[in-house]
Structure 1
């Protein structure tokens, strides 16, 4: 099972023609469905063949989220850069990994998505060497390796590497590694084309993306789609102040009476209807649902909502138009550079709530727009079609290091109460359940570095105490010596790299949370263990 490392080989690549059908894929394994397009566009197909915002998995009907997209920013050489996307084709990202040659072969291999499910993989494992069996196209052409002769990374998409040679070989029985019961995989970067969205100098990132869902009767999971990004620094230099953001145009059913907000305690940004009836042909009708975006691998560090073209308000609260504007919004600043302000929080459905734009600085600064933790809600006079942005932690990313950012799109509809906030309350309950599920089942970003088979406790070493407060100790086994010890956050940021004094690790300065400790032994094998810091 190969998910990382350095090999100087290209992968097996089928010469099978890649049809336009692979340019767009839809997850529809549970109670909702969502489309994913090559180049990173979410929920919208700019080719017009299928427009599918996140919606109930039934024919027709209203949608939960119209479209969403990733934003990233970072600094190098004293210059701050940003790459972002909003609507279909209006983006700084293009399909595929960073390469030295974007030729027709590159387009053939990477200008697409790969959709695979667990049933296909199980059938492949049982029958790949059976005469007459036809390997599914997405498994056959899974982008396990890049073309190193063209400057591409040697290992790309995760796969089961049965012979441990680092080369994806489907005819040898090797197959994709996916999360969930159905997944769509795609690769994007911000260096291949023009920065059509921000007009910024590219940040210099390559992003490996996997959207996935579970076929389950569990109400929370059955109404959730997960999306994981593994973001590589391919800029050739260190990126400081690196930050991820996630933008959304919710359009929950009929957008004209929508409201947006966040719960910083749950790491949740959301949209809900302003009353108990979502009217019109685009609406859900009575008992409308609520929709949310939940930060999983990272904390939600800030949110900001800005006005669409259909809403009146200060110019500084409207859509960003250049790199400086996008950077301001990722830092919870308005277009004129003024800070987001906690303006007169007054509870739900109260027009005394302020909009957060206070250039005179009369109210305290905040990082969270319409945060119900502060009893600050979007005022009634401002309800309508707004755009929302949530941002994560700021980190330093060394050249070729990666950072993992994973979120969930969740929905909830309470049809038992006439209270228009009932669906939002159910959404929060599901968000808490999903956070518990993710904490219990998340393998961490390190899953993309080492074998899943090795992410277990090894008889060759024992790490204790666990949980720990100030120091970890490592006891070696009798057969193999430890060569290196590395410690990572759950989203893949390396904290410590120890080559000799491995019997004791000082963790006193680390925040409370879950971490990964990777041990590499003298025979090249590794063991990865989760550690709880109290």
Structure 2
């Protein structure tokens, strides 16, 4: 697996946050950048912020000025690793080499090896509860101090999981939760319980380091391990698994926010990233630091401190003043296509199959850790009536973007950022959700509010407003009134396949910073979809390893474009990124990637991120394209017939280019991108047959179109190229595109593997060819098999206990009269739009009290899932 590193201007990053809920405060004066390196942040009961620095002690910021403390005026050591405050206002400061300092009534007291029972001078974590203060050491266990007596716990005298402590939290019942490098320990004063890879392997598969622990408003522990967020569901460690965005991979701090929200702080590319779990709903904020955060109830702000040198002060963040459009991924605009054996990341700005930063996100087989694509993107360009080029494309976002979310005005082809922000999401629906919705609408449960449809069904973007198109996302109009009304009319999304993602984007919100080209004023209705059939015959298993894509392209410009070409760009890394070849089969309208040597990676055994022996190959197949211009003299669909009636543009060119800045390297301008779509090189010379496709005598649109097993053909294999990192472009066109018309474009990614076949043999390529032909046949005839089984909907009628809610209406708390049957029983509070606002576990006492004070007045639903059963009930918040 490769990782992409791009340079980003830090000043530009900071300007994006100006007046976006962020207020910056200068650091303490008189220190160098390296001295201002930070280790922790805390807030006292009066709202003062305390920073632990790496080499200059600690600083107190009162909102106006700094007061500094170091080894010359109170601290035993100048490296402060942890800070906490007791209920009585005393401050506790853990250092790297001096033990603990207590700050009380402006006086300092030191506790070290000579005057206390501290087992180590290196303090990593501190927590307070009542009169007790707990100290976690770097490698010598845990100590508790009640103001008089010390108690030490370690692996030798207790059930502590490890002597290296990273985090501590004490809940309202006095139970200690201790995060170590070897998992989580729970201590109730008598008994110890440990949770780690040894007894909960599925949840700690990325490591046992418990970086932080937070108690929410319900006294429920949440803890951050290596790239995973967990919570305690009764006595069971549960994975918080409804955060599909890759942001969670980069979180390194957890802290408690307003109203008991769970806050996570980390990084994404050049930006800090704050994730807030507010009433059970994850929200992403991009902030100018990725260091440390703390919530201050006095100012009702989140305070942020960077540990890097990019910005050495501190800052406040007010989520209510935040506008995040265009700053990065959210849980709405980054989703996975994942119903079959592929897990493919989809974004809504013209690119896909990567995380937008540095990592591939086209995993196949799903959950294998091996990816077959690093990144994909759409290119499109054409000439106006004056011969000027208009061009839009994406690669790696290193220069910016040419596409943005949302439709265009049907009159003038314009849009604005507020409209774009509304459509800055991807709608994801599967056939099970639709079948479930149809079932419950049929029995009246949707109409009477006892069943809440999926959010994306309720909010399906069928219609635009104003001058935007009234026909956006396709839907089944059950009641025939022309209006999408799922809750009253039973309408539902019209999807392709068994699972479909739908989004709309355009190229005319802002300047094109990827290509530098003029906008086309095109609107794109995009969908990505899959079929799933686990029980399908082995010879047809390719269905479960294929993803399909459809683009409906609308010309909103008022211009008739000539010589319009479409390109599908792929940086296709088949497992290991540095040992691949590419080629194409024009008669089949597809390009492909295959392993350049016999094993993917360095051995027959798959290494992390590779396929090992018997590697797969993958083809990109153009299934449908715009109609060719009549009489253009080209065989645009590669069927051996020129200019037949209704001829479509399919794969009209295939180009491989180098990752360099030569004439056969990376495109740098709009004319470069367009030249590649036209199968020309960057200097305008045509692509030619043989060698590297440059400077030959015979113009040829398809690079490496010979089968690799055929020694007489043109392929990377016959040339003896060194296998390496590969990227390629499939072209479709050119064609004329009048205003107010729509053109449609479809392609598929077909992944084939048969480890019994010799890599690069004829049988190896024939196997993929058969798979491609099956996908093409299923697409053309509309008869792809579907085995998705709908099993939801009958359990509530099978005798599950009902729940009662009281009081109802409610002001502060509701009580659920429901006795859980399993330890996995959970509740969700859902509003009328289907949004989940809160969630939690249920115990078996029969009565569960839930605080609803934070909810605005209105009608809500409580949905209970208990094992394989569920039920729901309504309540009113006054």
| Range class of TM-score, shorter chain | 0.7 to 0.9
- 1:439-475 superposed Cα distances (whole Å, 9 cap, x missing partner): 21189xxxxxxxxxxxxxxxxxxxxxxxxxxxxxxxx
Written as runs of structure 1 = structure 2, the 5 A alignment for 1:31-50 is 31-46=341-356
Equivalence map 1:12-411=2 (5 Å): 20-46=330-356, 53-77=361-385, 78-88=387-397, 90-99=400-409, 100-104=414-418, 106-128=419-441, 129-130=444-445, 131=448, 132-147=450-465, 149=466, 151-171=467-487, 172-216=489-533, 217=536, 218-280=540-602, 281=607, 282-298=609-625, 299-309=650-660, 315-343=662-690, 354-358=691-695, 362-372=696-706, 375-378=713-716, 379-411=719-751
Q: 1:432 aligns with which of 756, 773, 779?
A: 773
3-state SS of paired residue (2:475): coil
C-alpha deviation, 1:363, in angstroms:
2.2
Query: Larger deviation: 51-60 or 259-268?
Result: 51-60
**CA distance, structure 1, for counterparts of residue 428 and residue 383 of structure 2:** 34
- What's the TM-score, normalizing by structure 2? 0.45
Structure 1's 88 and 34: CA in aligned 2 closer, same or farther, altered over 3 A?
farther
Unaligned runs of 5+ in 1: 1-16, 344-353, 444-534
Contact 1:24 1:36 in 2 (8 A): yes
* Aligned equivalents of 2:417, 2:679: Cα separation in 1: 40
* Paired positions, count: 405
Alignment equivalent of 2:755, drawn from 415, 429, 432? 415
Preserved CA contact (<8 Å) 2:350 2:393: no
SS where residue 740 of structure 2 aligns?
Answer: coil
Q: Where does the alignment leave 5 or more consecutive residues of structure 2 unmatched?
A: 1-280, 284-329, 626-649, 785-878
Q: Give the aligned CA root-mean-square deviation in angstroms.
A: 2.1
Structure 1 residues 101 and 305: CA distance shift in structure 2, 3 A:
closer
Alpha-carbon distance, 1:107 to partner: 4.2
Aligned equivalents of 1:188 and 1:52: distance in 2?
Answer: 22
Quick check: 1:209–1:230 contact (8 Å CA) kept in 2? yes
Report the CA distance between 1:43 and its aligned residue. Answer: 1.2
Give, in angstroms, the shift of residue 47 of structure 1. Answer: 7.2
Distance across 2 between alignment mates of 1:96 and 1:341: 40
Looking at structure 2, the residues matched to 166 and 44 of structure 1 have their Cα atoms a distance apart, in angstroms, of 37
In 2, distance between residues paired with 1:86 and 1:366? 25
Residues 1:442 and 1:236: Cα distance change in structure 2 (over 3 Å):
farther
In 2, Cα distance between the equivalents of 1:399 and 1:210? 23
Q: CA deviation at 1:164?
A: 3.4
Contact 1:113 1:185 in 2 (8 A): yes
Distance 1:356 1:442, change over 3 A: farther
1:18 offset after TM fit, Å?
9.9
| Matches of 1:53 and 1:40, distance apart in 2 | 15
**Structure 1 residue 292: Cα displacement:** 1.2
- Give deviations 1:250-288, integer Å, cap 9, x for gaps: 011112110001000100101000121112444211111
What CA distance in whole angstroms lies between the structure 1 residues aligned with 2:352 and 2:332? 15
**4+ runs deviating over 4 angstroms:** none
Partners of 2:677 and 2:415 in 1: CA distance = 32
* Structure 2: distance between partners of 1:425 and 1:139: 41
CA distance in 1, matches of 2:339, 2:666: 35
Deviation of 1:233 after TM superposition, in Å, equals: 0.6
- Using the alignment, how far apart are the partners of 2:421 and 2:673 within structure 1? 32
* 8 Å CA contact 2:397, 2:514 repeated in 1: no
SS of equivalent residue, structure 2 residue 673:
helix
Note the C-alpha offset of 1:165.
3.5
Where 1:144 maps in the other structure, the secondary structure is coil
- 2:377/2:570 contact within 8 Å kept: yes
Question: Are 2:569 and 2:728, in contact at CA under 8 Å, matched by a contact in 1?
Answer: yes
Conserved in 1, the CA contact under 8 Å of 2:365 and 2:545? no
Counterparts of 2:357 and 2:479 in 1: how far apart (Å)?
40
1:101 to partner: Cα distance: 4.7
| Structure 1 residue 380: Cα displacement | 2.8
CA distance in 1, matches of 2:723, 2:417: 47
Q: Which has the higher helix share?
A: 1
Q: Which moved more, 1:263-272 or 1:209-218?
A: 209-218
Instruction: Please identify which structure carries the higher strand content.
Output: 2
* Matches for 1:512-523 after TM superposition, within 5 Å: none
CA distance in 1 between partners of 2:483 and 2:417 (Å): 23
Deviates more, 1:195-204 or 1:129-138: 129-138
In structure 1, C-alpha distance between the alignment counterparts of 2:456 and 2:666, rounded to whole Å: 38
| Secondary structure of 2:349's aligned partner | helix
